[in-house]
Structure 1
């Protein structure tokens, strides 16, 4: 599990405006770079920009579907840039099935098909458990409809009838 440093406080500016504290740009943030590199390796993407784009798209889609304490804890466990992507999303009005979630990601990626979007989603979500911890991933999966576990690289276990 990765330990994150607290977010930098805002710096008051003359006239009452508030500017964010100076800090590394997302591309220079080592934790963000590690996440993108993990996605690039997982998805076998040819370039870092491609892996970064997929990472942003999938995390933004996930951010709309994880709510409550799990969303807060997920944002805390992620690198700062990834946390911003997740936390900036408006919560979805209805939960999507795993297939609908993949389709929603496909709609955000130019030229994507459901098959390539599933690859993209799995490439991002499967790198999260080692980063954020299995316990948090379990809590997230408990709040999502059935079918998401496979996207996180886990077996989908169903209770016996």
Structure 2
């Protein structure tokens, strides 16, 4: 039996470089390590748990183009957590948002939940860019900027 082989033609070169998949998935590990350090969590597992809870809470409150762009900018696993949330029916104040996170974490108090929320959200600007965070904040009620590690300036009256 004779097998015929046809020469393969190389695929056409793509006009722009493609980011390899492992780099994006490694971003989840880096995000968790950064949150672990930021929040001074004793284990990666605790930092990962807190990150999932905070990102899922945030995912329900970021909508429209900002939600799409946030998901694109985040590591793959984080993007799934954000994008899988059903949009909230009403906006929460920053304090209500923290309380909603506290309700999702066993044994959390408003103070520990604020720490958890800030530990996660304050690392996002370096990861997704200040411009995107500014746009996200523009669609959230006042008070969220502090959770992202930013000063929130009130307009002069």
Q: RMSD in angstroms over aligned alpha carbons?
A: 1.8
Aligned length: 140
Provide the rounded CA distance (Å) in 2 between the counterparts of 1:150 and 1:6: 34
Provide the rounded CA distance (Å) in 1 between the counterparts of 2:138 and 2:19: 28
Taking a change above 3 Å as real, the CA distance of residues 72 and 45 of structure 1, as seen in their structure-2 partners, is same
1:102 aligns with 2:98: yes
Tell me the equivalent position of 1:76.
72
TM-score, normalised via structure 2 length: 0.85
Match of 1:85 among 74, 81, 96: 81
Match of 1:147 among 137, 143, 148: 143
TM-score, normalised via structure 1 length: 0.83
Provide the rounded CA distance (Å) in 1 between the counterparts of 2:98 and 2:112: 9
Provide the rounded CA distance (Å) in 2 between the counterparts of 1:142 and 1:77: 18
What 5-or-longer segments of structure 1 have no aligned partner?
Answer: 8-22
Larger radius of gyration between Structure 1 and Structure 2: 2
What 5-or-longer segments of structure 2 have no aligned partner?
Answer: 1-17
Tell me the equivalent position of 1:15.
none
Taking a change above 3 Å as real, the CA distance of residues 87 and 34 of structure 1, as seen in their structure-2 partners, is same
Deviation at 1:148, TM superposition (A): 0.2
Deviation at 1:30, TM superposition (A): 1.4
Tell me the equivalent position of 2:127.
131
Provide the rounded CA distance (Å) in 2 between the counterparts of 1:74 and 1:157: 24
Return structure 1 stretches of 4+ with deviation > 2 angstroms: 4-7
